[in-house]
Structure 1
Amino acid sequence: MSQQKFIDREEEMEILKNQYDMEGSGLIVIYGRRRVGKTELINNFMSGHGLYFLATNEGDTENIRNFQKLLSEFLNDKSIEYAYYNDWYSLFSSIVNNKNFIEKTKKSKIIIAIDEFPYLIEANRSIPSIFQKIYDSFLKNNNVFLILSGSSVSIMENDVLSYKSPLYGRRTGQIRIKPLKFKFINNFLKYNIEDLCNSYFVLGGIPEYILKFNTNLSFWNNLKNNFLNRGSYLYEEAEFLLRGELREARNYFTILKAIAIGNHRLNEICSYTGMDKSMVSKYIDVLISLDFIEPEIPFGSDKNFKRRLYWIKDNYLSFWFRYILPNKSEIENSRTERVFNYIKNDFNTYAGEKFEYLIRSLIYDGLTGKYYDNVSRWWGKNKLKNKGNDIEEIDIVAYSSERNELLFGECKWTNKKISASLIDKLMEKSKILLKNYNNCNVIYALFSKSGFIENKNTIKNKNIILMDLNDVKNFIEKNKS
């Protein structure tokens, strides 16, 4: 992956350093979806020291040959490059007996990083067993730090990390690399806070995707150039990503499209896709394990709540399946202006959903000046009303057990200022949940894209919070580390 910036990986770097500094050998597994920044993390950690090898899908013979060449340069021993090794085991057997290797291990711990390890497994299903023997026979008792990295989350979890894997029990640590948080996006894009939000809503926290936007162009021009041009990277990436990770990709595509256009309940997804419940449930479980979608239950519900909703967690996939896949015929036939206008007209609705999710994540990180144990959404029937049949919703419900405090919040992504009087409706809806909490401290909050009709500084009630995008901007600027 070609990145120009290395941002927000302090925790992962600390884990690697601690693992490296431990006495004896080490084996750490690093994994995460394509383009999330694994290679950049490894290269920054190694800083030119050690041996970094990027595996390919060419099979054992070619990968061994390529590894030999790098190893020959690393150990300054040409004989290694020209030797013949018919398998990985014999290659590593030779390495540990090489005098230059022995001298290096006496001076410091040697790092050997094998990136895209799943390519080796796909070409040879015995690779986990082979590397288990290599580690036990040659590396475990040497001053070596082995890194196995991969983008195929399913292969890394099933063939490297799982209990059934031959490598299980050998690793001394593992890191699953997550996308960057929103607060780091302005390290890449010099936009105002609204367009930083817009960019995050369509790109998520994947560094490689963010780097495709030209900060000298407007958000909308970047969106048009990168999503609506045939052959552009972001126009094609979703298909490469899913086809590289999933079998029966067509069924996953249909499910993701169903969710993206508004079918969030299991029965709705089944109805849209025409697949039976057991099949859809199986596919959904896979998508959850890959961090592509996530289930949602109302605040305060039992974990076995059955009528859960499913949302696409990955912003890039969410945008792509909502706007690009359904309009591919139009784009392929160069009718991009029509698609572009449709996206612009509908975007506030899409962004409103993403804004809610963003604010919830920022509240969890301390946006309001406090921290909460649980931050989620609530919906359900209002049993306090006469009929009690209408479904009501509260965008944000956050709870702190330490302070016995509840926060109720509403998010508004509109081009007009909103009135603080919306707090009154929020207070009314909150009664449904407050009856379950005795003597609880209560905070009410409104989060508005365009600000408020009233001067928020005149609101003196300490239990009412009004925040706009400038407040979000100030928060992320103070909390970069």
Structure 2
Amino acid sequence: MSQQKFVDRIEEMKILERAMSAKGPSLFILYGRRRVGKTELISKFLGTRGVYFLATAEGDRENINSFKAIMSKFLGDESILMANFDDWHSLFTVLTSSSSFQAKARESKIIIVIDEFPYLIEANRAIPSVFQKVYDTVLREKNVMLILSGSSISMMENEVLSYRSPLYGRRTGQLQLRPLKFRYLSEFVNYGFEDLCNTYFVFGGIPDYLLKLDPDTGFWENVSKSIISKGAPLYEEADFLLRTEFREPRNYMLILRSISYGNHTLGEICAYSGLDKSMVSKYLDVLMSLGLVIPEKPFGASEKFKRRLNWISDPYLKFWFRYVLPHKSEIENSRNEEILKIIVDDFPTFAGEQFENLMKELILEGILGRSFDTVSRWWGRNESNKKGRDVEEIDIVAYSETRGELLFAECKWTNSPVPISIVEALRTKSETLRKQYPGKKYSYAVFSKSGFKWTLQEPISDVILMDLSDIEREIYKKT
């Protein structure tokens, strides 16, 4: 188990240590998408207190033989290695009954990690029942922490965590490992703040993706070398990621491609994909359950709102479907410079969408010095605007029930300073919501890549104006 760069994960380590220190045996479920850093977290937590076993798709016999070899070495007991076991239950029965195991367990709780547990399930669908029996009849009275870990979110949730799983009710703790927060990207690359944002827009907070970047190479060169070159480490990562979750990923890829091309409603996705409505709805539900797609309704809309928009949530997947998949033929023919120019020319539009998402995250994290319960976008009819389009949108609407406050915000990722007229436009667009929420406090914010342009001498008291330098200062002031 290799140890790579380990950043943050303070809260996750605390969760694991609390589970470890609890009296009696523990069954902990750890899962998260490929490359999110599960192995590094396990390695840091485990130390020399137990064993790490990486399961394979070879079947029970091979995995049992590999596991007993690891346990034999950990316990310094060759008798375990020499014994033959027909199944997992007999292996754990003999193992925990051995004098070497019992002596070790008297010293401290033994941690046993089985990583990529879904591989065992794929080879033997009865594995959840097998391990339920192991835990109930063998480990229940032992000083052991058993950690079952996996990268297939769907299989971990359906076969291990769900109500119908034989393991349901046995777990003493669980954790879905999420990507790193934006503030930690500076640990991976030596970039100015704008290119840190660009890096987050493309690679997100997936540690393994960030480790593939050359910290002393420019942003666009890193994009070219890591994604849009034949044989690059992340060139086909999207294919691998989807195959981890789906045995037949074709229709899922079709739906994700449709969304990346700007088809966000159910009807638009059906029209693009040629799939019927019920099928698309089913696929979207699965993608949402895995966190790959996020449904969006306007702020304040009821749960019955029908024209929800669907967005790819993962930055890398969003970039890959927008720029890599449509140009695979050119990349295969080594026309990298041509494709890079296409991406660079279109990137401000892509980055503008991602900048909104980043600011939503940062507002929830408290960058404005106060917390909000919800942060979302709003679109709808504005009754005060009788001319032109009758449908408008506000990039961010944040709401605090405790303070009775509504925040309206706009995000501008442009190379030109933002004129002060945007503030009055924001006030006008917010009128509809202000009428719907009478008696609330209202505040405004504008986040701009390139600063602001105005001639006012006095600051606007109820408006927060932040450019990238302001955002950078507030983020790192809190770390």
TM-score bracket for this pair, using the shorter chain length: over 0.9
CA contact (8 A) 2:179 2:204 kept: yes
Cα distance in 1 between the residues matched to 2:71 and 2:217: 44
**1:281 alignment partner AA:** S
Equivalent position of 1:474 in the other structure: 473
- For the pair 1:202 / 2:202, whether they are aligned, the reply is yes
Q: How big is each residue's C-alpha offset from its partner over 1:140-179, in whole Å with a ceiling of 9 and x where there is no partner? A: 1111111000001111011101111111111001001111
**2:96 alignment partner AA:** V
- Residues 3 and 194 of structure 1, relative CA distance in 2, 3 Å threshold: farther
Equivalent position of 2:145 in the other structure: 145
Q: How big is each residue's C-alpha offset from its partner over 1:369-415, in whole Å with a ceiling of 9 and x where there is no partner? A: 11111111000122333378622000011111222111111100011
- For the pair 1:38 / 2:19, whether they are aligned, the reply is no
Matches within 5 A, 1:344-359: 344-359=344-359
Q: How big is each residue's C-alpha offset from its partner over 1:280-311, in whole Å with a ceiling of 9 and x where there is no partner? A: 11111111111111000000111221110000
Equivalent position of 2:337 in the other structure: 337
Equivalent position of 1:117 in the other structure: 117
TM-score (norm 1): 0.97
Shift of 1:461: 2.6
CA contact (8 A) 1:382 1:388 kept: no
CA contact (8 A) 2:4 2:40 kept: no
Which segment is superposed worse, 129-138 or 379-388?
379-388
Cα distance in 2 between the residues matched to 1:78 and 1:174: 33
Q: How big is each residue's C-alpha offset from its partner over 1:232-287, in whole Å with a ceiling of 9 and x where there is no partner? A: 11101110110121132111111101111211111111111011111011111111
- Residues 239 and 294 of structure 1, relative CA distance in 2, 3 Å threshold: same
- For the pair 1:390 / 2:377, whether they are aligned, the reply is no
TM-score (norm 2): 0.98
- Residues 350 and 188 of structure 1, relative CA distance in 2, 3 Å threshold: same
Cα distance in 2 between the residues matched to 1:48 and 1:259: 46
Equivalent position of 1:49 in the other structure: 49
SS at match of 1:234: coil
Cα distance in 2 between the residues matched to 1:345 and 1:54: 44
**2:366 alignment partner AA:** G
Matches within 5 A, 1:279-298: 279-298=279-298
CA contact (8 A) 2:382 2:431 kept: no
Shift of 1:477: 1.0
- Residues 459 and 296 of structure 1, relative CA distance in 2, 3 Å threshold: farther
- Residues 234 and 403 of structure 1, relative CA distance in 2, 3 Å threshold: same
Q: How big is each residue's C-alpha offset from its partner over 1:83-136, in whole Å with a ceiling of 9 and x where there is no partner? A: 111111111110111001011111111111101000000000111011001001
Equivalent position of 1:461 in the other structure: 460
- Residues 346 and 150 of structure 1, relative CA distance in 2, 3 Å threshold: same
Cα distance in 2 between the residues matched to 1:148 and 1:305: 39
CA contact (8 A) 1:3 1:208 kept: no
SS at match of 2:370: coil
- Residues 370 and 270 of structure 1, relative CA distance in 2, 3 Å threshold: same
CA contact (8 A) 1:183 1:479 kept: no
- Residues 475 and 455 of structure 1, relative CA distance in 2, 3 Å threshold: farther
CA contact (8 A) 1:57 1:120 kept: yes
**1:149 alignment partner AA:** S
Cα distance in 2 between the residues matched to 1:425 and 1:460: 17
CA contact (8 A) 2:409 2:444 kept: yes
Shift of 1:227: 1.3
Equivalent position of 2:15 in the other structure: 15
Equivalent position of 1:308 in the other structure: 308
- Residues 388 and 422 of structure 1, relative CA distance in 2, 3 Å threshold: closer
Equivalent position of 1:189 in the other structure: 189
Matches within 5 A, 1:396-407: 396-407=396-407
Matches within 5 A, 1:54-453: 54-386=54-386, 390-453=390-453
Cα distance in 2 between the residues matched to 1:353 and 1:455: 29
CA contact (8 A) 1:418 1:450 kept: yes
Q: Any gaps of 5 or more consecutive residues in structure 1?
A: none
**2:83 alignment partner AA:** A
Cα distance in 1 between the residues matched to 2:309 and 2:208: 30
Cα distance in 2 between the residues matched to 1:461 and 1:439: 21
CA contact (8 A) 1:2 1:208 kept: no
Cα distance in 2 between the residues matched to 1:195 and 1:3: 27
SS at match of 2:430: helix
**1:475 alignment partner AA:** E
SS at match of 1:191: coil
**1:346 alignment partner AA:** D
**2:348 alignment partner AA:** N
**2:68 alignment partner AA:** Q
SS at match of 1:235: coil
Shift of 1:444: 1.2
SS at match of 2:375: strand
Cα distance in 2 between the residues matched to 1:358 and 1:459: 29
Cα distance in 1 between the residues matched to 2:90 and 2:348: 60
Equivalent position of 1:4 in the other structure: 4
**1:296 alignment partner AA:** E
Q: How big is each residue's C-alpha offset from its partner over 1:342-384, in whole Å with a ceiling of 9 and x where there is no partner? A: 0000000000000001001111111111111111100012233
Count of aligned pairs: 479
SS at match of 1:394: strand
Cα distance in 2 between the residues matched to 1:260 and 1:386: 33
Cα distance in 1 between the residues matched to 2:379 and 2:175: 35
